[in-house]
Amino acid sequence: MYRILTGAIFCLISSILFTTRYIAAAILNTKVSVGSNFPIFLDFIGDELKIASFIALLIGVSYIIMGEMELKKGIK
């Protein structure tokens, strides 16, 4: 049961990291007076948050799967 909760927390961390990238690019885009340079600012931030989000998602999903397998076997 605790593995499922841990997996859900990792999935939450993944979604927070994923949205942080877009929020940061949107904040940087507010400084532009003319036009939208959102894709440029998204590239400026980099891929580190996307990679960290993907890793956290993989960890979270694997924990959820392991927790479900333990519940199916009856191990608590």
Q: pLDDT tens for the chain, 76 residues: list them.
A: 789 999 999 999 999 999 999 999 888 888 776 667 888 888 989 899 999 999 999 999 999 999 999 888 886 5
Which pLDDT score, from 0 to 100, does residue 33 have?
67
pLDDT computed for residue 75 by the predictor: 60
pLDDT of res. 23: 94
Instruction: Count Cα neighbours of 9 within 13 Å in the Cβ-side half-sphere.
Output: 6
Q: Which residue, 27, 15, 24, is CA-closest to 46?
A: 24
